């Protein structure tokens, strides 16, 4: 009897200790303060549950991150339990993730479009963590000094940038540029270029019905305008810039305008920023008459790996990280856009990020990349698009030739995949 008791007690202690020492791991991005924010959220959950969590940092580039995830998941490796997943990946990675549909209620009232985006063949494969849309940052002090207004069209932006740079350079500020953005050949360029196309009314590369619409005169006009910026209002190096490179230039005071995601707002106004208090944010300009203000839909989700040895705990952590309270904390601390419409009416969130309220339309009607219709071919489609755009921007090919070649390439991909 005594022996049995000892065994039971020992087994119980062992299992308690087992839970406490149990280590989950989550892969997080490291753009700006992303890693720190992830770590803080994870630490709060660990303090509550006593479960140890390892935070694994991944490459900044969404493209490189996807390649890494595909390797880990193809090997069915159990060493990462939770993945931070881009809004365009559910169709690519769905089969590797646990269905969270049973927890959708606990997850609360996210933007319905995001839940739809993350639902593949009836399975909810990831919970929304934050949403993104491209916006235009400008130096309010410089625009005021030169009597300029925030631009309504790309043409106006181009002219304002040119005038301010000319005047400032003449006054000795040699290092100033007009406009920085993400021109490197990767997913970020797909986001920037989709905004140019959409702002000109040139469609979204592939229509919802699977028609390849990208080769059209408005798209060519949009690309020609963007190509004219390189080495004029934008530094030649812009063709190798990602989000952080453009933020580095803007935040050190060396550019009048910047295209970036909302996270750059909190950092631009941080204590060590050279432009603290001098920045405004507006919707991206229209592509001239008949065009519209737009922004590409971005954002990230949390998914639980099917190969996790602790799916129950991992789901609990996913629910915690994506909860309304945690998203509120992230919005106030670092301008990460919540995926709960209700938080756009929260006074503290709006005080920290006034543009969340002013640009609500941009955030709720952002233009989606064609990841839904192209499913697990999305990355191939996007890579073909950013390659064509990059060749037009660098002058390797005229815009219309690049678009005609791209159309042929996309038709081949689409025929094989039957979308």
13 CB neighbour count, 10 Å cutoff: 10
**133 forms part of the interface with ligand GLC (CB under 6 A):** no
Q: How far is the CB of 261 from ligand GLC (least distance, A)?
A: 5
How many residues bind ligand GLC (CB under 6 A)? The answer is 13
Q: Which is nearer to ligand GLC, 24 or 393 (CB)?
A: 393
Q: Give the burial string for 18-37 (b: 16+ CB within 10 Å, else e).
A: eeeeeebbbbbbbbbbbbeb
Closest CA to 243 of 366, 61, 35: 61
| CA-based radius of gyration for the chain | 23
**69 forms part of the interface with ligand GLC (CB under 6 A):** no
Residue 74 tokens, joined: 């193809």
**195 forms part of the interface with ligand GLC (CB under 6 A):** no
Q: Which is nearer to ligand GLC, 81 or 132 (CB)?
A: 132
**62 forms part of the interface with ligand GLC (CB under 6 A):** yes
Q: How far is the CB of 131 from ligand GLC (least distance, A)?
A: 8
Handedness of CA 114, 390, 217, 179 (dihedral sign): positive
DSSP conformational letter for 94: G
**298 forms part of the interface with ligand GLC (CB under 6 A):** yes
How far apart are the C-alpha atoms of 159 and 336, rounded to whole Å? Answer: 31
Q: How far is the CB of 243 from ligand GLC (least distance, A)?
A: 6
**187 forms part of the interface with ligand GLC (CB under 6 A):** yes
Stretch that binds ligand GLC, among 292-300, 316-324, 353-361, 370-378 (CB under 6 A): 292-300
**98 forms part of the interface with ligand GLC (CB under 6 A):** no
How far apart are the C-alpha atoms of 202 and 221, rounded to whole Å? Answer: 9
Residue 409 tokens, joined: 């390439």
Non-local (6+) Cβ contacts of 182 within 8 A are 188, 189, 191, 192, 241, 242, 243, 246, 259, 260
C-alpha distance from residue 78 to each of 17, 73, 111, 305 (Å) = 21, 9, 31, 8
**28 forms part of the interface with ligand GLC (CB under 6 A):** no
Closest CA to 44 of 323, 341, 301: 323
Q: How far is the CB of 115 from ligand GLC (least distance, A)?
A: 16
Q: Which is nearer to ligand GLC, 168 or 242 (CB)?
A: 242
**191 forms part of the interface with ligand GLC (CB under 6 A):** yes
Between the CA atoms of 139, 32, 196 and 357, what dihedral angle is there, to the nearest 10 degrees? -70
Q: Which is nearer to ligand GLC, 190 or 391 (CB)?
A: 190
Tell me the residue number closest to ligand GLC, measured at CB: 298
Q: Which residue in 261, 265, 355, 419 binds ligand GLC (CB under 6 A)?
A: 261
The β-bridge partners of 75 are: none
Q: Which is nearer to ligand GLC, 85 or 221 (CB)?
A: 85
**302 forms part of the interface with ligand GLC (CB under 6 A):** no
**370 forms part of the interface with ligand GLC (CB under 6 A):** no
What binding mask, one character per residue, do residues 71-90 give for ligand GLC by CB under 6 A, x or -?
---------------xxx--
Which residues contact ligand GLC by CB under 6 A? 62, 86-88, 132, 187-188, 191, 243, 261, 298-300
């Amino acid at each position: 009897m005594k022996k049995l008791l000892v065994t039971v007690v020992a087994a119980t202690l062992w299992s308690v200790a087992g839970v406490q020492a149990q280590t989950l791991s989550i892969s997080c991005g490291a753009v700006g303060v992303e890693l720190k924010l992830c770590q803080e959220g994870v630490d709060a959950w660990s303090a509550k549950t006593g479960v140890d969590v390892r935070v694994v940092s991944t490459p900044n580039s969404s493209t490189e991150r996807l390649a890494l995830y595909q390797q880990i998941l193809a090997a069915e490796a159990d060493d990462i339990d939770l993945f931070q997943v881009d809004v365009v990946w559910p169709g690519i990675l769905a089969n590797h993730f646990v269905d969270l549909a049973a927890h959708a209620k606990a997850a609360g009232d996210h933007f319905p479009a995001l839940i739809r985006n993350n639902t593949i063949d009836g399975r909810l494969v990831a919970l929304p963590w934050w949403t993104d849309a491209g916006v235009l940052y400008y130096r309010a002090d410089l625009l005021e000094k030169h009597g300029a207004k925030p631009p309504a069209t790309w043409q106006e932006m181009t002219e304002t940038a040119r005038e301010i740079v000319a005047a400032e350079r003449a006054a000795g500020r040699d290092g100033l540029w007009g406009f920085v953005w993400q021109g490197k050949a990767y997913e970020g360029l797909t986001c920037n270029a989709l905004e140019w196309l959409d702002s000109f009314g040139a469609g979204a590369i592939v229509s919802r019905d699977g028609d390849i619409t990208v080769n059209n005169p408005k798209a060519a006009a949009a690309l020609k305008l963007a190509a004219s910026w390189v080495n004029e209002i934008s530094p030649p190096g812009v063709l190798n810039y990602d989000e952080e490179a453009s933020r580095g230039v803007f935040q050190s005071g060396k550019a009048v305008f910047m295209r970036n995601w909302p996270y750059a707002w909190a950092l631009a106004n941080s204590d060590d920023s050279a432009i603290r208090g001098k920045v405004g944010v507006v919707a991206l300009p229209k592509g001239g008459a008949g065009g519209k203000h737009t922004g590409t839909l971005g954002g990230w989700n949390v998914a639980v790996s099917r190969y996790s040895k602790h799916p129950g705990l991992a789901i609990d952590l996913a629910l915690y990280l994506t909860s309304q309270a945690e998203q509120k904390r992230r919005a106030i601390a670092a301008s990460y856009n919540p995926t709960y419409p209700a938080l756009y009416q929260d006074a503290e969130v709006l005080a920290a990020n006034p543009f969340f309220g002013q640009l609500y339309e941009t955030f709720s009607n952002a233009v989606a990349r064609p990841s839904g219709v192209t499913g697990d071919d999305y990355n191939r489609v996007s890579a073909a698009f950013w390659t064509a755009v990059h060749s037009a921007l660098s002058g390797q090919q005229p815009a219309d030739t690049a678009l005609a070649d791209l159309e042929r390439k996309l038709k081949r991909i689409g025929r094989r995949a039957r979308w």
